[in-house]
Amino acid sequence: MEETETTALDLRDDGARLLLREADGSGGTKETPVHAVPCFPWSQRNAFVSLRDEKGKELRMIEDLDRVPEATRQLIESHLSRRLFVPRITAVRSITMDAELFRWDAETDAGPRVFVTLRNEYPRSLGDGRMLVKDVCNDLYLIENPATLDARSRRLLWIYLD
Amino acid sequence: MKSAPSTTGPIESLLGQPETLPAAAAEAIARLLPNEPIRVFALADLDVRRRFSPTWLAVTDAHVVLAAPKDGAAAGGSASDWGTTAFPIGEIESIETFDGIACCWMTLLAAEKRPLATVQYTRRQGRAIGNVQFAAEQIRKRQKEANGGAALAGNLDPRNDYQEAVLKSVKEAQASLLTQKMGILLRLLSYMRPHKKAVAIGFTMSVLMTLAVLIPPYLTRLLVDNILRPVERGSLAAPEAFRWLWMTIGALAAMLALGEVMSFVRLRVMAIVGEKISMKLREDVYGHMQKLSLAFFGSRPTGTLVTRVSSDTDRLWDFITFGFIDMVMAGFQILGVAVALVLQDWSLALAVLAPVPIMIAMFYVFGERLQVLFLRIWRKWSSMTAVLSDVIPGIRVVKAFAQEDHEVQRFNEKNLAVEQEAEILHREWTRFWPRVMMLMHTCTLLVWVIGAPRVLRHMQSGGAEGMPLGIFLAFVGYMWLFWEPVQRLGMMSRAINRVTTSASRVFEVLDTVPTIANKPDAAATPPLEGRVAFDNVTFSYDGVRNVLRNVTFDVTPGEMIGLVGPSGGGKTTLVNLICRFYDVKDGTIRIDGRDVRDLDIGSLRRQIGVVLQEPYLFHGTVAENIAYGSHGASRRDVIEAARAANAHEFICGFPDGYETVVGERGQTLSGGERQRISIARAILHSPRILILDEATSSVDTETEKKIQEALKRLVSGRTTFAIAHRLSTLSAANRLFVLEAGRLIEHGTHAELLAKPDGLYAKLHKTQMELHATIAV
């Protein structure tokens, strides 16, 4: 594994992927497509971001994204935000039983969403008050802070709250 | 298939997304590519800013088309509201997909990996998007082969493909649970059916007891109005009065005695029936659990499963023995007393009965609330037991890291959570109860307010008007008999809710359908030769990430195959599929030329032997552990097997020999000893197909040699799949399969694979040789 070398990080975006430019050892440069993978996606997305090539080999480890030059940081963050995107539930309009499944009608920060969960699959608590709902398609929905939701949503969710 | 836009289908109602490609979008695509029908389409439901917004992807015979509503235009509308972009398939060099936490994306790449377009979507679209990718790749392949112009095989129904792909997860989830129309309590009662006679006795006794309870207040009335008052007024002679008096007392005594006997019979009968029913439930739950697939156990903490079989079923005993009949009896008593009250004096009866509907409503609302509370407690409780079943098997690690205090604290936190939750519950019902009592007391007071003046008037008027004292006394007596079952029902609502929570946990297990099940026409698997063939097998545990991709091979009977490759490559998954612990996602696995899904699971697995890296020994003697799975093996067979496994020597060294009791998980034995016992188990089992999962990875060299010898005896003549990290242990293998990232990338003999200079096996071999050399120095 290479040393953390955040200042010498030469990244660009070709419209779909991140490309890491490095010396190829013979005087020239080569560009490798990389993925930015945070080690702690749920609790600390700005720290310990691993840059890996397409085979999953780590090329760089960024310990603190805030210490990376602004332009590069924005580039990495835009890629992270796609990888880490989880719709946040801002209101629950209804949870109804439908054919042994729970049908949720919710409002999220990405727009309204209807999804179904298994009757026996409870939202997972992330331990810091956040709750993660998984639907039958394995899609995830985050409830950031149940206490700030409106009364109706809280009443519907109360059965799951910790 | 005719489209009916007015009715909403399951995709619309359950997932809130269109049932099909909107007509306007289809028209917009048709305008762009007039002569190319759409072959496959899918929805990418996230836009560039990752908001839920539709972008439709369609594949025609020569293009991949994206269609999204233009800025400001509402989805739907007319064709001109849709912006479309088409990419000639000939230009698309490759299509790559990626998975984020909740967002997936697909990029179309031109030559030199120049990105053409990226769409983002959620997992629910994954299958449909996969269809689009597959179709585009197929068309591209054909174009290359036929030098352009080849169309995809006709007869495609894009709408149906899309709907099937989107609904697959929902349908699987629905299929995983049997639909139960019956209410939980009714279902519980259905367990009483085999005990009809006993339940009937219990019932009859309860009804009779209720009637017996109704008599005493009536006797009071007789005593006062027909004996005491007439004697006071002098209208009844003393000897006559005494005769009546003793008869009344005798009747009371007889009623009380009868009541005692009936209550005894009822309790005895129902306690036994209750125990039988909870035994039957435990039997059913455990029996059904054993049938469930590995995936079921993987997704649930052991603790909650233990709770369901043990304490949840026990709680049901309480209900069946006392709760159920008590409930019915209380109902009877309320009805009976209500009738008696009306017969005594209807106007007073109204005062008592008026608040009953209010109470029923209160109980109902309260019951709903309790249901939620009990579910919450149950969750806290199982999270507490989960800590136990997680930590106790790992107690050595806890002690080795001196984490006892930490573990105690972790448990206490969960324990506290249970207590706090229960506190909420108790606060709720203790708040509820006084309200019910207050209502009752108000009624009592009302009866006195209305009744007592009437008794007084009756006395003043010498019986001309008002109410005789006896009736009033009887009435008051009945009133208490009325409140008593109401109170009992109220108390019971807590117990009943607790029972329904437990019962629903138990039934949840019973309602889970095993994902791996015999086909109805599965015949017992005949003795196997041991030919194993994979044909284009793709598998995924979660339906999203493929752990095996397009694996194809053919293994002849008796061949030994070494499975090598980096961890996470899919080696263990491959052997899991041979055992049919899971079913393939695509492709087929054939054993002796028959699809494993057509074979009877039980008789298939009886012919497969497994030796695991961490052999699991059950609590019992060494001999029992060796004979596990081979019932009826003689002692000689056991010793022969132990000998072949190089285990006989050390077993004879134990003071108790083959009758040495090994603790749970065999903790009293060393790793090498456990391993050899599990090899002896496999030898005795004498399977046609043998699976060795890193059987020698955790022992010293000397022991490894002994185990190797034992394995050599075990392997001979059987089709064997051996997983090993140390390549040296695979020297006996006929062929080696190299798995990387779910693909079978190389296969052949040791020599053949070494001959490939840049092959993965050659590289692995070189690294291990170097490592050995370093250790040797």
Average pLDDT over residues B566-573: 85
Interface contact A84-B543, CB threshold 8 A: no
Separation of first and last alpha carbons in chain B: 74
Torsion angle of alpha carbons B135, B139, B145, B147, nearest 10°? 180
Mean pLDDT of B314-341: 81
Instruction: Give the gap in angstroms from C-alpha A135 to the nearest C-alpha of chain B.
Output: 9
Min Cα separation B67/chain A (Å): 19
pLDDT at B207 over 50: yes
pLDDT in tens, A7-45: 478 888 887 788 888 887 787 888 888 888 888 888 888
The answer to whether the CB of B25 falls within 8 A of the CB of B107 is no
Question: Which residue has better confidence, B601 or B122?
Answer: B122
Give mean pLDDT, residues B69-98. Answer: 82
* Partner-chain residue, chosen from A16, A100, A118, that has the shortest CB–CB distance to B118: A16
CA dist B258 and B212 (Å) reads 8
Cα separation of A145 and B108, whole Å?
A: 38
Query: Side by side, which strands form the sheet with A44-52?
Result: A11-13, A18-23, A29-40, A44-52, A58-64
- Within an 8 Å CB–CB cutoff, is residue A139 touching chain B? yes
The SS3 assignment for B73 reads: coil
Report the alpha-carbon distance of residue A158 to residue B424 in Å, rounded: 13
Nearest C-alpha of chain B: how many angstroms from A70?
Answer: 21
The verdict on a CB contact (< 8 Å) between B170 and A101 is yes
> Residue B277: what pLDDT?
86
Going through B38-156 in order, the beta strands assigned E by DSSP cover: 40-46, 52-59, 63-69, 82-88, 94-99, 104-109, 115-121
- Of B767, B704, B710, give the one whose Cα is nearest residue B564: B767
> Of B757, B585, B590, nearest to B746 (Cα)?
B757
Q: How far apart are CA B324 and CA B50, in angstroms?
A: 54
pLDDT at residue B181 in the model: 52
pLDDT band, residue B75 (cuts 50/70/90): low
Look at residue B420 in the predicted model and tell me its pLDDT: 93
Instruction: Please state the pTM of the whole predicted model.
Output: 0.71
Type of residue at B191: Y
Separation of alpha carbons B680 and B508, rounded Å:
38
Beta bridge partners of B64: B59, B87
pLDDT score, position A162: 66
Measured over the CA atoms of residue B761, residue B766, residue B771 and residue B775, the dihedral's sign is positive
Q: pLDDT, tens digit, for every residue of A119-145?
A: 767 788 887 888 899 998 889 999 988
Asked if A132 has any chain B CB less than 8 Å from its own CB, the reply is: no
Q: Are strands B40-46 and B52-59 parallel, antiparallel or unpaired?
A: antiparallel
**Distance from the B328 Cα atom to the nearest Cα atom in chain A, whole angstroms:** 30
Q: Which helix (H) or strand (E) holds A157?
A: helix A151-157
pLDDT tops 90 at residue B352: no
- For chain A, give the percent of residues with pLDDT over 70: 93
CA distance B11 to chain A (A): 10
Per-residue pLDDT band for A1 (boundaries 50, 70, 90) equals very low
Match 């109706």 to its residue by tokens.
A152
A-B contacts at Cβ under 8 angstroms: 108
Which has the minimum average pLDDT: B417-426, B463-472, B625-634, B660-669?
Answer: B660-669
Beta-carbon separation of B52 and A82 below 8 A? no
Nearest C-alpha in B relative to A96: B14
Which of A34, A136, A143, A160 is best to mutate for the B interface (most B CBs within 10 A)?
A: A136
Query: Which chain B residues have any C-beta within 8 angstroms of a chain A C-beta?
Result: 13-17, 46, 50-53, 98, 100-103, 105, 107, 109, 113-115, 118, 120, 122-124, 126, 169-170, 172-174, 176-177, 179, 372, 375-376, 379, 417, 508, 542-544
Cβ of A28 under 8 Å from any chain B Cβ? no
Q: Shortest Cα distance from B77 to chain A (angstroms)?
A: 20
Query: Residues B342, B352: contact at Cβ < 8 Å?
Result: no
Q: Is A39 on the interface with B (CB under 8 A)?
A: no
Residues of chain A positioned with their CB less than 8 A from the CB of B114: 14
Give B121's pLDDT tier (boundaries 50, 70, 90): very high
What is the arithmetic mean of pLDDT over B577-601?
A: 87
Query: In this predicted model, which residue has the larger pLDDT, A88 or B302?
Result: A88
Higher pLDDT among residues A147 and B177, named by residue: A147
Model confidence at A3, pLDDT cuts 50, 70, 90, reads very low
CA B135 – CA B426 distance, rounded (Å)? 61
| pLDDT for res B3 | 41
- More confidently predicted of B113 and B57: B57
Smallest CA-to-CA distance from B350 within B340, B342, B358 is with B342
Closest residue of chain B to A106, computed from CA coordinates: B16
The residue-averaged pLDDT of B47-59 equals 90
For residues B496 and B325, the answer to whether their CB atoms sit within 8 Å is no
Task: Name which of B46, B169, B176 is nearest A137 (Cβ-Cβ).
Answer: B169
Chain B residues in contact with A78 by the CB 8 A cut-off are none
Give B124's contacts in chain A (Cβ within 8 Å): 115, 135, 137, 139
pLDDT of residue A105: 93
Please list, in sequence order, all residues whose beta carbon lies within 8 angstroms of the beta carbon of residue B23, skipping any fewer than 6 positions away. B5
According to the model, what pLDDT value does residue B550 have?
Answer: 87
Determine what percent of chain B is predicted with pLDDT higher than 70.
93
**Would you say A14 and A58 are in contact if contact means Cβ atoms under 8 Å apart?**
no
The pair of structure tokens assigned to A30 is: 């080569």
pLDDT for residue B636 is more than 60: yes
Please state, in angstroms and rounded to a whole number, the distance separating the CA atoms of residues B260 and B293: 51
Determine contact, residues A139/B123, Cβ cutoff 8 Å. yes
Q: Going by C-beta distance under 8 Å and a sequence separation of 6 or more, which residues neighbour residue A33?
A: A17, A18, A19, A20, A53, A54, B113
- Across B678-691, average pLDDT: 87
- Smallest Cβ–Cβ distance between B115 and the set A17, A135, A137 belongs to A17
Q: Which of A14, A137, A138 shows the shortest C-beta gap to B115?
A: A14
Mean of per-residue pLDDT scores for chain B = 83
Residue A158 has pLDDT above 80, yes or no: yes
**pLDDT tens, B464-481?**
788 888 888 888 888 888
Higher pLDDT, A2 or B72: B72
- From chain A, the residues in CB contact with B172 under 8 A are 136
Residues of B in contact with A159 (CB under 8 A): 372, 375-376
- Select the residue of B14, B98, B169 nearest A98 (Cβ to Cβ): B14
Q: What value of ipTM does the predicted structure carry?
A: 0.90
> Any residues with CB less than 8 A from the CB of B272 and at least 6 apart, and which?
B198
Task: With a cut of 70, say whether residue B156 has pLDDT above it.
Answer: no
Q: Do A112 and B508 touch (CB under 8 A)?
A: no
In the predicted model, is pLDDT for residue B416 greater than 90?
yes
pLDDT value at residue B544? 64
In this predicted structure, the answer to whether residue B502 has a pLDDT above a threshold of 50 is: yes
Give the tens place of pLDDT for each residue, B256-305: 898 889 888 888 888 888 888 888 888 988 898 888 888 778 777 777 77
Lowest mean pLDDT of A3-12, B127-136, B453-462, B513-522, name the range.
Answer: A3-12
Between these two residues, B311 and B665, which has the higher pLDDT value? B311
Per-residue model confidence (pLDDT) at position B178: 63
pLDDT of residue B4: 41
Residue A58 to chain B, least CA–CA distance (Å): 16
User: Rounded to whole angstroms, how far apart are CA atoms B212 and B259?
Assistant: 6
Token digits of residue A64:
């603190």
Task: State the Cα–Cα distance between residues B249 and B246, nearest whole angstrom.
Answer: 5
Measured between CB atoms, does A128 come within 8 Å of chain B? Answer: no
Average pLDDT over residues B561-586: 87
Residue B746 pLDDT > 70:
yes
Confidence class of residue B664 from pLDDT cuts 50, 70 and 90?
Answer: low
User: What pLDDT does B57 receive?
Assistant: 92
Taken as a whole, chain A contains a residue count of 162
Tokens representing residue A3 in the block: 């040393």
Q: Could B15 and A114 be called an inter-chain contact, meaning their C-beta atoms sit closer than 8 Å?
A: yes
What's the average model confidence in pLDDT over B532-552?
A: 84
- CB contact under 8 Å between B170 and A112, yes or no, is no
Residues B624-645, mean pLDDT to the nearest whole number: 87
Tell me the C-alpha distance between B420 and B433, whole Å: 20
Confidence check: pLDDT of B661 > 70: yes
DSSP codes of every residue in B551-586: EEEEE-TT-EEEEESSTTSSHHHHHHHHTTSS--SE
B583 in Cβ contact with B595 (< 8 Å): no
Name, in order, each residue with C-beta under 8 angstroms of B471's C-beta and a sequence gap of 6 or more.
B221, B225, B344, B345
Strands ordered across the beta sheet of B532-539: B548-555, B532-539, B586-591, B594-595
- Choose among B100, B114, B179: nearest Cβ to A82: B100
pLDDT computed for residue A5 by the predictor: 45
Place of tokens 């036929």: B146
Q: How many CB atoms lie within 10 A of CB B231?
A: 17
A81, A82, A136: residue with CB nearest B173:
A136
Q: Which pLDDT tens digit goes with each residue over B223-256?
A: 888 888 888 888 888 888 888 889 989 999 998 8
